[in-house]
Amino acid sequence: MRVLARRTFSGFVACDEQAAEEFRRVPVGKPVYIEIKAARNPRQHRLLFALLGVIAEAGDFPSTDAALIALKLATGHVDHVHVDKDGTMCLVPKSISYASMAQTEFAAWFETAVRVVVQRWLPSMTDDELKMQIEEMVGA
């Protein structure tokens, strides 16, 4: 079970009712494994979708979903899957979901994505100009 918790000086506390219920199920004193992953920044996720809108238009993609697939391929965020015994390989875009990519990994990938977008689809812009444009689109 994956739950959202916050660290305090006295330990971890539940951030919502679901987490509180899971914590109550663990007997006092029982050792458990906890996977620590920083929660993703929702604003950065909105910036990504603003970026996808920009490249969907600039790259003539039919949708932001298609733009996301192209961006994952262009940034190398893929798995290499062998589909035949003769070694034929297929590139399969990896997930960028909250559950599969921690904030630190997402932030690094997002920086790479901005650089790739400028190089491949918007060569008349700089990374900073593109970031400013999508920041304006998302707002405060």
Q: Kindly give the confidence (pLDDT) of every residue in the chain, 140 residues in length, as a single tens digit, with 9 standing for 90 and above.
A: 778 888 899 888 988 898 899 999 999 999 988 877 767 788 888 999 999 999 998 878 999 999 999 999 999 999 999 888 888 999 999 999 877 888 889 999 999 999 999 999 999 999 999 999 999 999 86
The span from the CA of 53 to the CA of 138, in Å, is 11
What are the domain boundaries of the chain? Answer: 1-36, 42-138
- Give the per-residue pLDDT at 140: 64
The helix (run of H) or strand (run of E) holding residue 115 is helix 103-120
- Give the per-residue pLDDT at 86: 87
Q: What is the pTM of this model?
A: 0.72
- Give the per-residue pLDDT at 75: 97
Query: Residue type for 103, please?
Result: Q
DSSP per-residue string spanning 42-72: HHHHHHHHHHHHHHHHHTT-SSHHHHHHHHH
